[in-house]
Amino acid sequence: MRLILSALLAATTLAAPALAETLVIQAGRVITDAAQPASGPSTITVTDGKIVSITSGYVDAPTGARLINLRDKTVLPGLIDLHVHLQSNPGGDYRDEAVLSDDYATLMGARNALVTVKAGFTTVRDLGSTPRGGFALRDATAQGLITGPRIISSGPAISIIGGHGDVNGFRPEVADALHAHNTCTGAMECAARVREFSKAGADVIKITATGGVLSQQGRGLGQHFTDLELKAIADTAHSLGLRVAAHAHGARGVEAVARAGIDTADHATFADLAAAKAMKASGTAMVPTLMALAGVKARLGQNIYTPTVEVKAREAVAQMGKALKLARAEGVTIGFGTDAGVFEHGRNAGEFALMVDWGGLTPREALASATTTAAKLLDKETEIGRIAPGYSADMIAVAGDPLTDVRTLEKVEFVMARGRIID
């Protein structure tokens, strides 16, 4: 691990002022909150990684402060992605799991963290990593050892034996060697697993409540955990102050997730009216991850996926945006997430156009899902998601107006994360 950190330090530089330095940003337009109209020319002052003030018009920088000229740009809060896999890349052979080391995965995660923050995503929820690598990435970015977003990390996902998230597709002795001790059976054991992951340092609990598209198991995309197991997971996590994110595709699995009081149903690909009503009733948010479906669609029929995966992938892709439209109509809270790692990291902002074009959201709703709404789902609504005094200096700048054209977010021209300018 010492060698890994040395390599990261040698290979990575931070384009960052000393945190005590004052930065003065002159912006042509500012979106302080996705729910509010954009303001005109403004000056934003940042000190020690925090936003100090937002002033109408252009104010000269005081002596010793650094002036940043964004007079021809729209400045808005840094974006939040609630579902990424920093240690994964798309299209790889599933057998790589038995070949590549956890150390390699951590280094790959550092590279992907850099790409992600450069794309304007200053906070991510990393849902599924090696047992210690995800936490190492989180801590290294927080301490400024490597450049990346704020990381909310789950560590490995909790799975049923043989389900999505467990090791599948290998002969038994290989599967045993790769096992991450992340499975459980029965309410008591599942509660114990949550406590173990909390002890290990998890910021959030990730479970695979249904079958998954890219796992090497042919049991479909329906419910995996029992209702009692789901309730035990949710209750235990909440008692420890942790939220739960559930990978969930099948409609009945999504409905069961909501009944259990789990915080987010991620993907929710086949959610029907009953599932949407259950989410609304329980307050379970939907994180649709349409970019994952787009990434999978681009790889169909190319002998990238095994026959087992190809069948599930075609089934899921055919549902693109349908569940999101339904959930929005029922008033379900929509959080922004992409499943980056299923597609190339750095393309996260492509989700906005899919949410608008396929899911029926307005540009303002889509932006809110990645700022104020996402921040609330992380219990960080007083820290990130807005440009306001006292908030973390997480800001991006684009050339156009994302409140009318979300595709402008696909080309971010300036990024500040926790007061550090990312080059």
Task: State whether 391 and 307 are in the same domain.
Answer: no
Q: Is the pLDDT of residue 14 over 90?
A: no
d(CA 399, CA 72): 7
- What is the average pLDDT across 330-354? 97
Mean pLDDT of the chain: 92
**Strand order through the sheet with 395-398:** 50-56, 42-47, 22-30, 66-77, 395-398, 414-417, 420-421
In this prediction, residue 421 carries a pLDDT of: 97
pLDDT digits (tens, 9 = 90+) for 162-221: 888 766 655 675 556 555 679 999 999 999 999 999 999 999 999 999 999 988 887 789
**Least confident piece of the model among 16-30, 53-67, 90-104, 274-288:** 90-104
pLDDT (tens digit, 9 = 90+) per residue, 371-397? 999 999 999 999 999 999 999 999 999
Domain residues for the domain of 33 are 2-78+386-421
Q: Are residues 29 and 88 in the same domain?
A: no
Are 60 and 138 in the same domain?
no
Q: CATH number of the domain that 319 lies in?
A: 3.20.20.140
CATH number at residue 19: 2.30.40.10
Q: Quick one: how many helices (H) and strands (E) in the chain? A: 14, 14
Of 280 and 19, more confident? 280
| 359 and 405 both lie in a single domain | no
Same domain, 251 and 139: yes
Domain check: are 269 and 365 in the same one?
A: yes
| pLDDT tops 70 at residue 19 | no
Q: What share of the chain is helix, strand, coil (3-state, %, to 5)?
A: 35, 20, 45
Residues 226, 308, single domain; the answer is yes
Domain count, the chain: 2
Decide if pLDDT at 12 tops 80: no
Instruction: With beta carbons less than 8 A apart as the criterion, state whether 22 and 60 touch.
Output: no
Report yes or no: 270 and 221 within 8 Å, Cβ to Cβ.
yes
Same domain, 192 and 304: yes
Q: Which residues lie below 8 Å from residue 91, measured CB to CB, with a gap of 6+?
A: 299, 304
Residues 108 and 203 in one domain: yes
Instruction: Say whether both 136 and 278 belong to one domain.
Output: yes
Instruction: Provide the pLDDT for residue 371.
Output: 98
